[in-house]
Structure 1
Amino acid sequence: MTFTLAAPCEHHETIRKSRFLAKAAPVASPDEAQAFIQAVSDLSATHNCWAWKIGNQYRFSDDGEPGGTAGRPMLTAIEGQDCDQVVVVVIRWFGGIQLGTGGLARAYGGSAAKCLQSGTRVALVRRDRYACHCRFAELTLLKARLGEHDALIESETFDAEGAELVVALPPEQHVHLQQILADISRGRAELRALDAGQTSVS
């Protein structure tokens, strides 16, 4: 199972006189990740290294540390903690003692991992998106059953007869909800697949 963070968290430690402050947060888009990086980076620090992962998208930066010693180990830490939709920034104040490439990788990767471990995690569930049209009389009945199938209403647009719903539900619940919708609407309404594979917080 994959997790994201329920809220921002941080972890700090001193390694051979260098101070490391790791900050992590849940993010839903690359723009959110970059905004968090800009918001928490400390210009007085020696380095502000970061990594984020959102589904198949990811980026990282060594911010002046030797190549591969900061951003990549932090991304590995995100994956190692089974996390997704998160950003981690590790801020370093150099303490005068060189850590070497292996020491840097352990420090950045370790700080990122400990930060993610310290936060409150929530499970991410893959949900596919479907649209359906319900008449007013059917709408209340359908909404009462959605929770049983871990389905979320993303939007509802009302018209003269009822509402067009966009719902997101786990793939294994599609057949069950389709049957409920058919029963409620006496076979008139059906789930129409939209773009699949959205991952959302459980």
Structure 2
Amino acid sequence: MPHTLATAAHSELIIKKSRFIGCVQPMTDRAAAQAVVDALWKQHPGAAHVCWALLAGGQSAAVDDGEPSGTAGRPMLDVLRHQDLEGVLATVVRYFGGVKLGAGGLVRAYTDCIAQALLTAQKVPLQRMSTLACSVPYSLEGWLRREIEAAGAELLQVDHGSAVTLQWRLPEAQAAACRQRISDGGQGRVGWMEADRVAS
């Protein structure tokens, strides 16, 4: 099962006078990752490179930022893949110390920097979520809200029309049982709908 990270974790290495400052953190998409990288440049204006790798499904990326091609972003991405992570951004800020490391040395430096940060990172299972939606008579709204809360689900939306429509999200593994329990408790007065068709 893929994991993501609970919070950011950091590392720092000095290799032949070059300073490598690593960070791994939860991240959902490329736009958010780019914003983090932009912020790192502001925090470290004297850095030579800010290399990064994002493992987030179709949003994944590997950026060498001026280091020789394939020596920074790709090795960092490989570390994330090897640890079965998803939705994680790895960044390394490098201050050049005046000694060239060579391609092999760079790959090792960037790989080690991310691997060290991951040693202290708290990994959490990545849960696939399901969204459920149904409409009930007004008399059942309070009961349905209590059922949703008891399931530990996140209530997303409530619409009051001729009936009350509620939409909520919970872990995919619990969705079928929750739906069955509500159908049984509603005694034929629960109208299920496709969650993505509910007006937002």
* Superposed displacement of residue 62, structure 1: 0.4
Could you list the runs of 5+ residues in structure 2 that have no partner in the other structure?
A: none
Aligned-CA RMSD value: 2.3
Asked if the contact 1:81/1:117 (under 8 Å) is kept, the reply is no
2:135 to 124, 127, 133: 133
Asked if the contact 2:131/2:195 (under 8 Å) is kept, the reply is yes
* Superposed displacement of residue 182, structure 1: 0.9
- Aligned-partner residue type, residue 164 of structure 1: T
Tell me the equivalent position of 2:181.
Answer: 180
* Superposed displacement of residue 34, structure 1: 0.9
Larger radius of gyration: 2
Tell me the equivalent position of 1:156.
Answer: 157
Asked if the contact 2:136/2:189 (under 8 Å) is kept, the reply is no
- Aligned-partner residue type, residue 61 of structure 1: V
1:87 to 86, 89, 96: 89
Tell me the equivalent position of 1:64.
Answer: 66
Q: Name the structure with the higher strand share.
A: 1
Distance 1:81 1:13 in 2: 21
TM-score when normalising by structure 2:
0.84
Distance 1:175 1:7 in 2: 31
* 1:127-162 CA distance string (max 9 Å, x none): 122221234443443344446656433x12231566
Q: Name the structure with the higher helix share.
A: 2
Tell me the equivalent position of 1:200.
Answer: none
Distance 1:112 1:87 in 2: 10
- Aligned-partner residue type, residue 109 of structure 2: A
2:99 to 97, 100, 106: 97
Asked if the contact 1:25/1:87 (under 8 Å) is kept, the reply is yes
Please state if 1:12 is matched with 2:12: yes
Distance 2:136 2:115 in 1: 46
Distance 1:127 1:182 in 2: 20
Distance 2:30 2:180 in 1: 37
Asked if the contact 2:127/2:172 (under 8 Å) is kept, the reply is no
Please state if 1:39 is matched with 2:39: yes
- Aligned-partner residue type, residue 13 of structure 1: L
Tell me the equivalent position of 1:199.
Answer: none
Could you say if the C-alpha distance between residues 45 and 145 of structure 1 is closer, same or farther in structure 2, counting changes exceeding 3 Å?
same
Distance 2:160 2:27 in 1: 34
Could you list the runs of 5+ residues in structure 1 that have no partner in the other structure?
A: 196-202
Identity of aligned residues (%): 35
